[in-house]
Amino acid sequence: MAHEQAFWPVECEQGEPDLLVCMSCLSEVFRRKVPMPDCPTCHGVSTYEAFTLKSIQEWGSEALIAKAVKAEAEVEPAPPQPGGFVGSDTAE
């Protein structure tokens, strides 16, 4: 029973709600991703909708809010920056 949970990445605009809550069981929340192929708790498919942390705090259960706060705090690995140009024109 050691299979890993896989996720679909979800694109969210900056400032848009990016916490995906399962509207079926209201007990799973992930940030900018949804579990595949279905919800690990209720096995609902396409049951996830995006909310802000503020919104979840207004209607979520304590357990859901705790999960949402944790998900929000998760730091994603930053995409590789195209910068980092190293000047090498020091030849004289």
Window 14 to 43, contacts with Zn ion (CB under 5 A): 22, 24-25, 39, 41-42
What's the closest the beta carbon of residue 5 comes to Zn ion, in angstroms?
Answer: 13
Whether the CB-CB separation of 39 and 25 falls below 8 Å is answered with yes
Which of 74, 70, 68 minimizes the C-alpha distance to 26? 68
What's the closest the beta carbon of residue 45 comes to Zn ion, in angstroms?
Answer: 10
Q: Is the CB of 15 or the CB of 37 nearer to Zn ion?
A: 37
- Using the contact rule CB under 5 A, the part of the chain among 10-18, 44-52, 67-75, 82-90 near Zn ion is 44-52
The rounded distance, in Å, linking the Cα atoms of 69 and 19 is 10
Q: Is the CB of 41 or the CB of 55 nearer to Zn ion?
A: 41
64: contact with Zn ion by CB under 5 A: no
Tokens of 23: 């509207």
The rounded distance, in Å, linking the Cα atoms of 50 and 2 is 28
The rounded distance, in Å, linking the Cα atoms of 91 and 84 is 20
Give contact residues for Zn ion (rule: CB under 5 A): 22, 24-25, 39, 41-42, 44
